[in-house]
Chain A
Amino acid sequence: MNNNNKPYSDIPGTTVFDGDMARIGFHLNQFCMSLMQESNRTAFKQNERAYLDKWPMTEAQKKAVIARDFSQLIALGGNIYYLVKISSSDGLSVAAAVSTMTNLSVDEYIDMMRRGGRSPEGNRYVVSNTSEEKQ
């Protein structure tokens, strides 16, 4: 989960959707976009693999879509606003989809949000000993 040698590569648990990610994720994201249409959603649900095979995506991207592995999809260039089109067509809330990328269950995640969300303390830098002092 990192963008190497970028000014944001030291932010933990975060992938910034930059040009590199946009480039490798282009077809994956455009596949997601196609799910905005009801007829495409139906075709996708009838045979996910066949529908995915119409898109010039990598095998890893197709497998991650079928597995609904959002962490992997982000790593393979997916953008969250595009990826939620998959979870929406599954009838899942954004919070439910987002929580799968954390080490929490959906209920634990929602409970964390109710209690004010994830604190930035200790979550600003990958190595958080001296760097946090900058704040």
Chain B
Amino acid sequence: MAKITCGLGTSHIPLLGHIIDKGDSGDEKWAPIFDGYQFTKKWIREQKPDVVVLVYNDHATAFDMKVIPTFAIGCGEEYHPADEGYGARPVPTVKGAPKLAWHITESLIKQGFDMTIVNEMDVDHGLTVPLSMVFGEVEEWPCQVIPLAVNTVVYPAPTGDRCLALGKAIRAAVEQFPEDLNVQVWGTGGMSHQLLGERAGLINQEWDLAFLDDLKSDYEKLGAISQVEYIRESGTEGSEMVMWLIMRGALNHEVNEIHRHYHVPVSNTALGHLIYENVDKKGE
């Protein structure tokens, strides 16, 4: 049977992609950012996930103002890196996992999550930057990816509680899939940042670090945070953190935090990253 083994959270700041694509990620100047992913790059080579369910938000790329799905799941064979206005990132095409994705979709809808199904779309930095940060510069991505796009661009984003519940439903769906697959769920975006208005540049380190602390065991508490509170405390784009709650919801109640990295700033944004491994317990 398929199994969710690990969860990973990371910011998906576009500057990280620009640095990597220019070949500058080894530059000493950026070491405080990239050093925090060295552990991750080794770890992922040992873990060898078959499939990553990658939770991200589309930034006016595949979805414009015509259609704005709250939760959309990619069931396609492949996804091309998008031209976001300065040419597509020179990274490999993302291979989908259509059979598992359709299984998850059917299960989610039956569990009460009315997913939007996407068979063809380009993927922007929200999805490709996390892949680059974790796998580095590769000829091919070493796993299949199921994109799960969450609307965090137009208010309101889905609630934290709903995101936790979606994570739990994804886990239930994956565990019913008959093939032996090592599946990871990644939550991306955040942490605190605000890209508009006179308050632009807001960073709340205290808030971010408390979020990272609470995510391990007190995640139910995080589910109750309203979008208004996220905006007030961590900036208009800080509410992207609900996507990490989908990842958390997909894991066991008990997890080990095996890695954490936090750095301010990356352009306008606070960068956060952590890895959880499920603690196996009978009955869970």
Q: Which residues of A contact B (CB under 8 A)?
A: 1, 7-8, 11-19, 22, 26, 29-30, 32-33, 35-36, 38, 41, 70-71, 74, 79-82, 84-85, 88-89, 93-95, 98-99, 101-103, 109, 112-114, 116-120, 123-125
The reply to whether B198 and A30 form a contact with Cβ atoms under 8 Å apart is: no
Chain A residues with Cβ below 8 Å from B156 are 18
* Contacts known (A14-B196, A14-B199); A81 close to B65, Cβ less than 8 A: no
Q: Which of B85, B154, B192, B202 contacts A22 (CB 8 A)?
A: B154
Smallest distance from the beta carbon of B123 to chain A beta carbons, Å?
A: 14
The reply to whether A99 and B200 form a contact with Cβ atoms under 8 Å apart is: yes
* Contacts known (A17-B154, A79-B60, A118-B199); A95 close to B65, Cβ less than 8 A: no
Chain A binder among B95-103, B171-179, B227-235: B227-235
* Contacts known (A14-B196, A88-B85); A82 close to B60, Cβ less than 8 A: yes
Q: Which residues of B contact A (CB under 8 A)?
A: 14-15, 59-61, 64-66, 83-86, 153-156, 192, 194-205, 207, 226, 228, 231-234, 236, 264-265, 267-268, 270
The reply to whether A13 and B83 form a contact with Cβ atoms under 8 Å apart is: no
Count A-B pairs with CB separation below 8 Å: 145
Chain A residues with Cβ below 8 Å from B64 are 29-30, 33, 82
Chain A residues with Cβ below 8 Å from B204 are 119-120
What are 27 pairs between A and B in contact, CB < 8 Å? A1-B197, A12-B198, A13-B197, A14-B231, A14-B236, A17-B153, A17-B154, A29-B60, A94-B267, A98-B196, A99-B201, A101-B198, A112-B201, A113-B203, A113-B265, A116-B264, A116-B265, A117-B192, A117-B201, A117-B265, A118-B194, A118-B199, A120-B204, A120-B207, A120-B233, A120-B234, A124-B233
Chain B residues with Cβ below 8 Å from A85 are 60, 85
Chain A residues with Cβ below 8 Å from B226 are 7
A17 to B14, CA, bound (A): 21
A117 to B269, CA, bound (A): 8
Chain B residues with Cβ below 8 Å from A88 are 84-86
Smallest distance from the beta carbon of B81 to chain A beta carbons, Å?
A: 13
Q: Which of A80, A113, A123 contacts B199 (CB 8 A)?
A: A123
Chain A residues with Cβ below 8 Å from B60 are 29, 32-33, 79, 81-82, 85
